[in-house]
Chains A and B, each alone.
Chain A
Amino acid sequence: MGRKLLLDKAHVENIRLYDVYRREGGYRSVEKALKKSPGEIVEEVKKSGLRGRGGAGFPTGLKWSFLAKPEGVARYLVVNADESEPGTFKDRYLMEFIPHLLIEGMIVSSFALGSNSSYIYIRGEYAWIVDILEQAITEAKNNGWLGKNILGSGFDCEIYVQRGAGAYICGEETALLESLEGKRGNPRIKPPFPAVKGLWDSPTVVNNVETIAAIVPIINEGGDEYAKIGVGKSTGTKLISACGNLNKPGIFEIDMTISVEEFIYSDEYCGGITKGKRLKACIPGGSSVPILPANLLLKTAKGDTRMMNYESLSDGGFATGSMMGSGGFIVLDEDQCVVKHTYTLARFYRHESCGQCSPCREGTGWMEKILLNIDKGKGKMSDIDLLWDIQRKIEGNTICPLGDAAAWPVAAAIRHFRDEFEWHVLNPDECTKRNYGLAHYAEPLKMAVPA
């Protein structure tokens, strides 16, 4: 059983309320942090090796140290709670059950960054969580953790919650800032980066909910202690939201030392595939990361066991690996159809493309239509190559990563499941009645024998 840092108190009754949270040792980190200097906290976070939990995995301490600090200009901390990636729902759990953990982390982070007004930009569909957060903020304020001169340190901080209007694109940090400013949520062209010119042209740090929550144990335990958990550059614990054909889907906190196989099959975590079926494929980090067939998921191309951490999941690059992403673990059993699944994702990205740059605006719609044709058995063999060509022309040529996110699932599906696409083309009648099945996707990998 791995250590739990974020969710160890999540099942205490009424932990949502301030009194219980405080009794369980909450807000200790604020007391500790306000005695230090902001620079020391940033150092502590750097030492912890914490990586951004939103998807890209950028080291948080490094991000914080990039923040420009011109005299007389306000700085802002914005928490990205616009969790809209299909398959990812970890932030929702955190905010819904232990909202004070986020508030506590925000106070410490705001102090470290010098932000006097910090924002939570929350996904519009999480309507009820807004109330939970606002109640937590009021409680914290009534108890002197927010407002003017917190704990007599001379540091002022206010936290505001802003609801989005239901656009996936507003989870991209610059689009989020545009939306927060009250404009159309279109991503900005970088540079300038938010660390220099962010919210209202002021230096801004945008962090994921889980990242900010992880600041609390880092301050409580110390950066060095935190860095001891996990392996290599994957330090600390990570929340994984597992869904799909699993016996026990849900949120799990892992310390990144377990293997993917253990995560799926052990009773402590997902408890295996439903009805004893076999594993066909899995998307390990939210819908936009490449899908992997079972054989590549459990073992890397080199034959090592694949672990649940940043390095191991991305081992082999996109050719034979995937990404940790935001931790949205989606499992497909042998009865699932990869073509239909890819079509569903393409439809999502088409719907959520902001329409700013042409490759993404036009390309996502095109891919969706071709995938629908193949799924319905109306596809042609040339469509598969066409899809490959379209995704290649979208990827890397857009302003924000949504273009990449739309291209990667299609690319990975064709890369690993091309025979299934071809089967759909060659068997137009059959493919509407039954699925391709497991085929060879779970067979052991052919290992290259060293000469």
Chain B
Amino acid sequence: MAEEKKLFRVTIDNVQVDVEPGTTILMAARKIGAGVTPPAMCFYSKLKGSGGKCRTCLVEVAAGSTADPRPMPKLVASCRTTVMDGMVVKNYSSERVMEARAGVVEFLLLNHPLDCPICDQAGECHLQDLSYEHGKAGTRYEFRRRTFTPEDIGPYIQLHMTRCILCYRCTYVADQLTDNRVHGILDRGDHAEISTYISKAIDNDFSGNMIDVCPVGALTDRTFRFKNRVWFTKPVDAHRDCPTCCGKVTMWNRGDEVLRVTARKDPWGEVQSYDGQPGWICNTCRFDKKKLGDWVVEGPTKISRHSVISANHYIAAKKPRETISDVMGGRKPKLLMDIHSISDVNDPSVDLSKISGPPTGDTYDENHQE
């Protein structure tokens, strides 16, 4: 008994979980599951010192601990607040939290260009996910959005400062993974920007991981730029013997073509850990090994993160029950009009799998001769 570690019991949105002392509320919530986990834009569990900045993970602490059950007066950043025994946290069940979070999303999108249609990050962008979940359809901002002069930060990484939400993750990567940080935050306030020291190129071996940690499309892979949309590519787990890194990657292929190589991601969009070590990958693996022959393919990647790329990858999805006959007391619905009797488009007699290329108007045209 004495050797057993005392665990702290936390209640998040009425779900109880036992975690080790020193765990943050966010990590405790992740232990429970996605249903109660607050979103995190700047926090990255594998980067020391990250978090606390974006304020999307604000939660309400309804009771501080068993010993001191007073509620905390302010909303707290769950990524940097450690749990106490008997703490009661309200996340999705608190109106205050939802309102504050909607506010934060609005602030984050205020100066964001919303150029998703031409952004390489679209489909795996955390800001996209966040705004779908917590944002509003319109904006109340009526002023010119802030822009920056584009800057070249080297051959591999493309910087789009206008899309940046200043999460500071990439500076932590440079501090903790590479020998020398040559980029950082210049200026302050809403004109602060990520930039390199006198336009120096970022060319460290592990600098490519900045692309993986960037929650938005501010840092993207130049070798993948405008090649394809992520949801058209097929993610495949692969590995190779790499002398500098773990060599375990996700390849994003179209046919036999390797379009992009990234580190493997866990359900929270972070780099996966192997035996407690984060699986960062080196620039050689990421940018130079773009042939199928370079890699040993393990199999298709299971994407567990909620995002556009997880479409059609639902695991154990349940088919919804047909209820229309129940509602109608067993009667069949009455067909008012058969659309195919007045229109040739989408004619069910045309088998789309038998035609070459995408269907056009000609496909359904009976008079059309091949």
Contact = CB atoms under 8 A, between A and B. Distances in A.
Contacts of A396: 74-75
Nearest to B100: A397
Interface in B86-117: 99-100, 103-104, 106-108, 110-111
Contact of B166 (A355, A363, A364, A393): A355
B169 interface: no
Contact of B58 (A184, A353, A362, A397): A397
Contacts of A169: 188
Interface in B175-220: 184-185, 187-192
Contact of A354 (B52, B110, B188): B188
A398 interface: yes
B77 interface: yes
Contacts of B143: 366, 369
Contact of A362 (B74, B80, B111, B140): B111
Contacts of A398: 55
A350 B187 CA distance: 13
A355 B107 CA distance: 12
B141 interface: yes
Given A362-B110, A363-B107, A355 B188 contact: yes
A361 B192 contact: yes
Interface string A149-175: 000000000000000000101000000
Contact of A353 (B55, B140, B189): B189
B190 A356 contact: no
Interface string A4-30: 000000000000000000000000000
A357 interface: yes
Contact of A358 (B54, B184, B185, B191): B54
A127 interface: no
A369 B53 CA distance: 23
A379 to B, nearest CB: 11
A358 B53 CA distance: 7
A359 B107 contact: yes
Contacts of A59: none
A231 interface: no
Contact of B110 (A355, A366, A386): A366
Given A362-B190, A364-B189, A356 B53 contact: yes
Contact of B108 (A362, A365, A399): A362
B179 to A, nearest CB: 19
Nearest to A372: B143
Given A358-B107, A362-B108, A397-B104, A189 B190 contact: no
A399 B53 CA distance: 7
B55 A365 contact: no
Contact of B55 (A184, A350, A358, A366): A358
Contacts of A362: 107-108, 110-111, 190
Interface residues of A, number: 27
Given A355-B166, A358-B53, A358-B54, A397 B103 contact: yes
A355 B171 CA distance: 15
A366 B184 CA distance: 25
Most buried by A among B55, B80, B185, B187: B55
Contacts of B104: 358-359, 393, 397
B103 A393 contact: yes
Contacts of B190: 350, 353, 355, 361-362, 364-365
A399 B110 contact: no
Contacts of A63: none
A4 B194 CA distance: 51
B165 interface: yes
A341 interface: no
Given A352-B189, A397-B100, A357 B54 contact: yes
A69 interface: no
A248 interface: no
B192 A355 contact: yes
A415 interface: no
Contacts of B58: 397
A418 interface: no
A357 B51 CA distance: 10
Given A359-B104, A365-B190, A189 B80 contact: yes
Contact of A361 (B51, B140, B141, B166): B166
B255 to A, nearest CB: 41
Given A169-B188, A354-B189, A355-B166, A189 B52 contact: yes
Nearest to A187: B52
A148 interface: no
A189 B190 CA distance: 20
A278 to B, nearest CB: 36
Given A353-B189, A354-B188, A397 B55 contact: yes
A362 B108 CA distance: 7
A356 B141 CA distance: 21
Contacts of B187: 355
A359 B53 CA distance: 9
A399 B100 contact: no
Contacts of B108: 358, 362
A252 to B, nearest CB: 34
Interface of A: 167, 169, 184, 189, 350-359, 361-366, 369, 386, 393, 396-399
29 contacts: A189-B80, A350-B189, A352-B188, A353-B189, A354-B188, A354-B192, A355-B185, A355-B191, A355-B192, A357-B53, A357-B54, A358-B104, A358-B165, A359-B107, A361-B192, A362-B107, A362-B108, A362-B111, A365-B111, A365-B190, A366-B107, A366-B110, A366-B143, A386-B140, A397-B100, A397-B103, A397-B104, A399-B52, A399-B53
Q: Which 9 A-B pairs have the closest CB atoms?
A: A393-B103, A355-B192, A362-B107, A189-B52, A353-B189, A365-B190, A362-B110, A355-B189, A358-B107
Given A362-B190, A393-B103, 15 more contacts: A167-B188, A351-B189, A353-B188, A355-B188, A357-B54, A358-B107, A359-B55, A359-B103, A362-B107, A362-B110, A363-B107, A365-B189, A366-B143, A386-B140, A399-B77
Interface of B: 51-56, 58, 74-75, 77, 80, 99-100, 103-104, 106-108, 110-111, 140-141, 143, 146, 165-166, 168, 184-185, 187-192
